Amino acid sequence: MNEIPNPDYFSIAKCVVYLNQHSLAANLIQQLVKREDSKSLAVAYQIAFDLYENGTQEFLAKVMEALPKEEKDDEANGDAKSEAGENEGLLSDIDTSNVSRTKQSASAEESKVFASVREVLQGTKSIELNLEFLYRNNHADKNILNKIRDSLESRNSIVHSGVTFANAFMNAGTTSDTFFR
């Protein structure tokens, strides 16, 4: 990728997902973040959103593991290691040479970007943005539905069921439940 003047990162990301190469996906995101320009950061975020949409949960978990950790997590792990002094004799004979560690020191800005990328890969950011979009763009006229509902005499009428279904379709995904209250 370094030899190509303008690589198509989105096609590369698709291929990486299809090949199930989580380390390549993590390296691609790391390279883009380390460039520290706004275009590269935007591409890194878009790739993270694409990976979330197209990748499996296992793939996404491995990509998140391969990304550099936050410094707070490293300090917490260091404290936990120092408290485990009584078990050091038992664990000192274990061969840990095959354990891959991708802990790299990152600047404060990079660690914020990697935390945001993790949030995207976990899906919390996508869900939050979708919910915000649906809620903000909900233009259902609740007064009409309330007037129709109040004018009905029987709860067994077909019109009542129709009004209830109309409300469900108009407010789908918006977390708006004021019609039922």
* Residue 58, CA distances (Å) to 44, 64, 153 in order: 20, 10, 53
Residue pointed to by tokens 């109309």: 166
> At 59, is the pLDDT very low, low, confident or very high (cuts 50, 70, 90)?
very high
> At 19, is the pLDDT very low, low, confident or very high (cuts 50, 70, 90)?
very high
Q: How far apart are CA 15 and CA 25, in angstroms?
A: 10
* Residue 134, CA distances (Å) to 12, 69, 139, 176 in order: 31, 33, 10, 10
The backbone torsions φ and ψ at residue 75, rounded to the nearest 5 degrees and listed phi first, read -65, -40
The backbone torsions φ and ψ at residue 16, rounded to the nearest 5 degrees and listed phi first, read -65, -40
Residue 42 CB neighbour total at 10 angstroms: 11
Query: What's the whole-number mean pLDDT along residues 92-116?
Result: 60
> At 174, is the pLDDT very low, low, confident or very high (cuts 50, 70, 90)?
confident
Q: How far apart are CA 49 and CA 129, in angstroms?
A: 12
Contact residues for 10 (Cβ-Cβ < 8 A; gap 6+): 46, 47, 50
Q: How far apart are CA 78 and CA 82, in angstroms?
A: 6
Higher-confidence residue of 93 and 29: namely: 29
Longest dimension (CA), the chain: 79
Q: What is the pLDDT of residue 14?
A: 92
Global pTM reads 0.65
Tokens coding 171: 């407010």
On the question of pLDDT at 116 being above 80, the answer is yes
> At 180, is the pLDDT very low, low, confident or very high (cuts 50, 70, 90)?
low
Residue pointed to by tokens 């090949």: 19
Q: How far apart are CA 132 and CA 126, in angstroms?
A: 10
Nearest to 174 by CA among 146, 123, 143, 132: 132
